[in-house]
Amino acid sequence: MPIALICPGCKARFSVSDQFAGRTGPCPKCKQPIKVPEVAVKSVVIHEPDRPVATSAGTGRPPTAPLKSRDRPVPLGAFLATAVAAVVSMGIAFLLPTIFPPVPAGGETPAKTGIPSWLLLLGAFAVAVPTVRLGYAAVRNRELEPYRGRPLLLRTLACAAVYAILWGVRGLIPAEQTAEMWQWIMLGPLFVAAGGLAALATLDLEPGPAGVHFSFYVLFTALLRWLCDLAPL
């Protein structure tokens, strides 16, 4: 780096390269000899960065270590128990028409199901609880801390209740308006949007996974309705 000098004779200011340190040379203006002073070379010390700390105890500094997120998958036993419950529920759905035989109607009017509406609604809620829980484990955002314990239970029950109520709303629609599959082109998106909004609000799912979450429940309950000799949708 350059060394700044002042000529003691003419007071001219100039600089020379540090390679002339300790030498004597003429002033470029008045030619008076000037000795360039020695320059001490300072060594550069690179300090090792402080190690990240996970707590502020004893340091007085905020934690700098990154937070570790541990993903706890649903135990295998829970999946097996849910699979057994699904098989049992399908068996019960298959036997319900025998336990509650259809009510015959006069003329050309088809027979009505003998299964009480309250039982269908209760079954829709009972099926929704494990379906919502496992669906959440499958489609939740892995970058976010998952709900656990009591908060997860309450949110699961709330979402399951909305899912079951949507089946109750579907039961209020006249059969002739849902007899053909093409009629669901207009009705289906409304139900999917309502179910997806429930999953988004209760489980903090993103819009796409929330729709998939509700659709998974609809597919399974549609299978149960078919086994009950009811219209799947």
* Model pLDDT for residues 179-216, shown as the tens digit of each residue: 777 777 888 888 889 999 999 999 989 989 999 999 99
Long-range contacts of 60-65 (CB under 8 A, 24+ apart): none
pLDDT at 57: 61
What does the pLDDT average to over 75-79?
Answer: 73
What is the pLDDT confidence band of residue 73, given thresholds at 50, 70 and 90? low
Residue 107, pLDDT > 60, answer: no
Highest mean pLDDT among 8-17, 48-57, 187-196: 187-196
Determine the Cα angle at 153 with ends 147 and 154, to 5°: 100
Per-residue pLDDT averaged across 139-165, rounded? Answer: 89
pLDDT reported for residue 198: 93
Please report the pLDDT score of residue 158 as a whole number. 94
Q: Using the predicted structure, report yes or no on whether residue 41 has a pLDDT greater than 60.
A: no
Sequence-ordered list of residues with C-beta below 8 angstroms from that of 65, at least 6 positions apart, any chain? 52, 53, 54
Q: What is the pLDDT of residue 155?
A: 93
- pTM of the shown model: 0.66
pLDDT of the residue at 84? 86
